[in-house]
Amino acid sequence: MRRLGGKPKEGRGISRAAAAILMFALFLISAAALEAYRCAHGFITVRYRIGSEKLTAPVRVAMLSDLHESEFGPGNADLIEAVRGLSPDLILCVGDMASRGATERDLEVPVHLLRELCRIAPVYVSPGNHEADYVKVKGVGVYRAYERAGAVLLDRRFEDLVINGQRIRLGGIFGYCFPYGQSSEAFAASSAGRFLSSFEDTDSFKLLMCHKPTDYCLESEKEYFLDPDVDLVLSGHTHGGLWRLPFVGTPFLPQQGFFPKLDHGQKQVGGAVMIIGAGLGHKSLLFRLFDPCELVLIELAPIE
């Protein structure tokens, strides 16, 4: 005979709660997997506008970083078309376009991209840590390949450009911009120190490519920060944090620790504005989460 009423069976209650938790966990995992897939199969264009009293007309700068031989469409056709659509005056590649272990065949990806980008606007490249590591093992072939593609390599060098009538000093550096593990005098006499002091010495708009944001200013070594006289610093390297959690941000980055300040986007670092691109690499085993690949457009503009 069926019993009516009475206490609900406890075991069935628990199993329902467990099922609900399991369903919710499955939902989260599925959403994360979909998001990771989206981040690995496309890119977004992120735009910034930087005003300066030094400018009287706009200058459009496209920034790419951390490609790591990734492709968007055959031969990077989608990426090339997107850059062309931005009508940039200048294209800047801020390091790690190739990986440290790149083969000759791998190098064809960034080299082909650079060659095509050079048909759109002048292209300048500054080294990343991967290119620096590549050079240590295999020599400067990677840099020569970039140059043969038509790009100009800037490592502890600058060029004075005139674009749309605007005077821009464009420099590139890989390495610390402050005395790290050395005296102030030793840094001032080093190639980095000498580059920075001559780079600062102009009234032009000063744009510095510096692959690692922590090479420009490392929070844990902030007492050594020199606050160079620079208008805009462009960086990459962080890949946008890789896992950028909603309402939380980037939980952790090597060298910066938990909840890093220089992970992604526009920052104020001393007197300079810094823009940290999320990069375009999607081949890493460490997949991206809520952190799509980025093509960056920066419009330098007069202050109205």
- Taking the least distance from each CB to Fe ion, the nearer of 84 and 267 is 267
Structure tokens that stand for 266 in this block: 């526009």
The least distance separating Fe ion from the CB of residue 132, rounded to whole angstroms, comes to 9
Structure tokens that stand for 207 in this block: 């744009």
Kindly tell me which residue out of 122, 127, 128, 172 binds Fe ion, with binding defined by CB under 5 A.
128
Cα angle for residues 269, 206, 136 (degrees, 5° grid):
80
Where does this chain touch Fe ion (CB under 5 A) — which range of 22-30, 112-120, 153-161, 229-237? 229-237
- Taking the least distance from each CB to Fe ion, the nearer of 122 and 236 is 236
Q: Are 89 and 301 in contact (CB under 8 A)?
A: no
- Taking the least distance from each CB to Fe ion, the nearer of 122 and 277 is 277
122 is a contact residue toward Fe ion (CB under 5 A): no
- Taking the least distance from each CB to Fe ion, the nearer of 122 and 279 is 279
Where does this chain touch Fe ion (CB under 5 A) — which range of 34-42, 135-143, 171-179, 232-240? 232-240
The least distance separating Fe ion from the CB of residue 95, rounded to whole angstroms, comes to 6
- Taking the least distance from each CB to Fe ion, the nearer of 206 and 237 is 237
CA distance 73 to 218: 37
Binding mask 71-90 for Fe ion (x = CB under 5 A): --------------------
* Size, binding site for Fe ion by CB under 5 A: 4
Kindly tell me which residue out of 69, 89, 96, 291 binds Fe ion, with binding defined by CB under 5 A.
96
Cα–Cα distance list, 229 to 165, 181, 219, 282 (Å): 22, 22, 19, 34
Provide the residue count of the chain: 304
The least distance separating Fe ion from the CB of residue 189, rounded to whole angstroms, comes to 27
SS (H, E, C) 279-292: CCCCCCCCCCECCC
Where does this chain touch Fe ion (CB under 5 A) — which range of 108-116, 125-133, 135-143, 256-264? 125-133
Is residue 8 within a helix (H) or strand (E), and if so which, with residue range? Answer: none
Binding mask 191-220 for Fe ion (x = CB under 5 A): ------------------------------
Helix ranges (DSSP H) in 88-235: 104-118, 129-138, 141-148, 184-189, 191-200, 213-216
277 is a contact residue toward Fe ion (CB under 5 A): no
237 is a contact residue toward Fe ion (CB under 5 A): yes
CA distance 209 to 254: 21
- Taking the least distance from each CB to Fe ion, the nearer of 192 and 210 is 210
Where does this chain touch Fe ion (CB under 5 A) — which range of 35-43, 109-117, 129-137, 227-235? 129-137
- Taking the least distance from each CB to Fe ion, the nearer of 116 and 131 is 131
The least distance separating Fe ion from the CB of residue 233, rounded to whole angstroms, comes to 15
- Per DSSP (E only), the strands in the chain are 43-52, 59-64, 90-94, 123-126, 152-153, 157-163, 166-173, 205-210, 232-235, 252-253, 257-258, 265-269, 272-276, 293-302
- CA-based nearest residue to 66, from 214, 287, 280: 280
129 is a contact residue toward Fe ion (CB under 5 A): yes
The least distance separating Fe ion from the CB of residue 51, rounded to whole angstroms, comes to 29
The number of C-alpha atoms within 13 Å of 170 and in the hemisphere containing its C-beta is 23
Structure tokens that stand for 108 in this block: 């064809």
Instruction: Kindly list the residues in this chain that would bind Fe ion in the complex (CB under 5 A).
Output: 96, 128-129, 237
